[in-house]
Amino acid sequence: MRALGRILALWRSEAGWLGAGLVVAMMATATGVALMARSGAALATVLAGGVMVPGLLRFLGGSRVLLRYAERLLTHTATFRALADLRVWFFRGLAARAASGLGFRRAGDMLSRLVNDVEALDGLYLRILVPLAGAGVLSLALALLFARRAPLLGLVVVALFLLAGFVLPALAARAALAGGSALTKAAAELRIAVLDTLSGIREVRAFGAEGRMLALIQGRESALLTAQSRLAGRAAIAAALAFLCGQAALLAVLIAAGTAPLPAIGAAFLVTAAFEAIGGLPRAGALAGHAAAAAARVLEAAVDTAPAVPEPDRPAPLPHGFTLRFEAVRFRWQPDRPLVFDGLSLEVPQGARVAIIGPSGAGKSTLAALALRTAAPEAGAISLGGTDIATLSAADLRRRISWLGQTTHLFDDTIANNLRLAAPEADDAALWAALDAAQIGETVRALPDGLASWVGESGVRFSGGQGRRLALARTLLSPAAILILDEPCAGLDAETERAFLATLNSVAGGRSIILIAHRLTGVERLDRIWRLSAGHAVAAAA
């Protein structure tokens, strides 16, 4: 359960809302139980021939309604705020640990952690902490009320109450830990299967694999339903045992009443109300197992995995020059994987146009990841303007180095917002200048909404060449002094590729250009060519 404690520690910023919700919830619970007890006493008075005075009942009834409303308002607001903070924290942690992409993680699993696992924690406060606080107040109230008139009966009632409100939930939580882990895993596997199928629906249909993929999804769904059923079964058993505790306590009150039952009516109403107030705790205990497993998965993804490249304690200032140099770099992506580079050395002079070529798997994209410091070398050094990039902050480094990948993503947003990803403060004039430099400005002007035009999911409203030019405009909008273009023409036809490269020849200005490619077409303007082979860089003629 340590994971749940760590999640609660993350909610310190919402302590005011969370605390206010707990206080009002305890007041509402106490008022509701007092109302039931007073109602029982009033009924006993009437049955005995006395006169009922409704003033206190009216006050308690009205107070209970107001307090319940305030409880719902405060506790739900606190929960929404806490979960919002948790999602932001999770995203920041994931971004710091997956700066070069998800890498060896699966997108469906990360989505499941961000959605399913975070949502599973919404009951941590509402269904566990708030009822537990109410149970603490009620156990003390029962002990005090029965201590004066019937100590032995009070001992029995309080013991049964503690069993139903604390012991059974704890046992249910312990028993459900394994089931909660199975449930979170099954939910993640189902999301992975669905996401993979939807992402590859074109290939699925092309190869007639609809039935096989549907069978896979159904199998994962069946596993999820089985895990849910097991967890629900444990929750039901815990709830049934708690109900029996409540009935036993009520029976004890009736037996103790003997032949004079009328004074026991108030006690019976009190016991009934108290056990009803904690009726959901045993089930919540079973759900705590699921919440604990979800908390562990959230923490593992966002904080328990060390960042690939830690930030320096005292970042060095940015150098004035921007010559990029790799010196005897040794690197592999995982300890059990082969070396990508083994003593790689090369230099990109300030303002130079350099090509990095080589076959697939030679390490071209890895070179870009190392330059952007989304990965760190095992040995050797990478410097910018004579300063080791390991001593620079990531934000400063990426203000100097910009990147255009072979599968650069266009977000389902407007053209303007996609461009401002590189320069949030850029005005419309700067956006149009970047679009014109990328030779896509006239196309955008022809659209009815111009810069406000929606690009669609992954830029679906534009052709491959147009989407690549929009991505180039975004890269050019960055103030970076070094542009890394990683296979910028991948997937384009020959004519579009030549036109795109011709555009690159005229837009760099005084920046350094690093063009990563499988091969050169002959239209590039280059100062130097490096060929990657066997973990080394070999200079070739430009």
Average pLDDT for the chain = 81
What is the tens place of the pLDDT at every residue in 56-68?
A: 777 878 888 898 8
Q: What is the pLDDT at residue 160?
A: 92
* Pairwise pLDDT comparison (325 vs 88), residue with the higher score: 325
Predicted local distance difference test score (pLDDT) of residue 73 = 92
DSSP class of 421: T
φ and ψ at residue 344, rounded to 5 degrees: -75, 130
Q: Render pLDDT for 448-478 as a digit per residue (tens, 0 to 9).
A: 888 898 888 777 788 877 888 888 888 888 8
Are the beta carbons of 478 and 423 closer than 8 angstroms?
A: yes
Decide: helix, strand or coil at residue 426.
coil
Cα–Cα distance measured from residue 474 to residue 459, given in angstroms and rounded to the nearest whole number = 13
What are residue 342's phi and psi, to 5 degrees?
-140, 85
Listed residue (421, 419, 442) closest to 431, CA to CA: 419
pLDDT value of residue 262: 46
Integer Cα distance of 257 and 265 in angstroms: 9
Backbone angles phi, psi at 399, to 5 degrees: -80, -20
Q: How many CA atoms lie within 13 A of 391 on its CB side?
A: 12
In angstroms, the Cα distances linking 502 to 40, 122, 355, 383, 517 are: 89, 54, 15, 30, 15
| pTM of the full structure | 0.69
Alpha helices of 314-393 — where are they, by DSSP H? Answer: 364-371
| Domains parsed from the chain with CATH numbers | 2-304 (1.20.1560.10), 324-540 (3.40.50.300)
Question: Could you say which DSSP state residue 540 is in?
Answer: E
Q: Would you say 371 and 382 are in contact if contact means Cβ atoms under 8 Å apart?
A: yes
Q: What's the pLDDT band for 44 if we cut at 50, 70, 90?
A: low
d(CA 14, CA 81): 7
Q: How far apart are CA 350 and CA 504, in angstroms?
A: 17
pLDDT for the residue 106: 61
- Residue 117: the pLDDT is 76
C-alpha–C-alpha distance, residues 230 and 176, integer Å:
9
Looking at residue 161, its amino acid is F
pLDDT above 80: residue 211 = yes
Instruction: Work out the average pLDDT over 336-359.
Output: 87
The radius of gyration computed from the CA coordinates of the chain, to the nearest angstrom, equals 33
Q: Which two tokens stand for residue 478?
A: 């960055």
Contact indicator for 375, 536 with CB cutoff of 8 Å? no
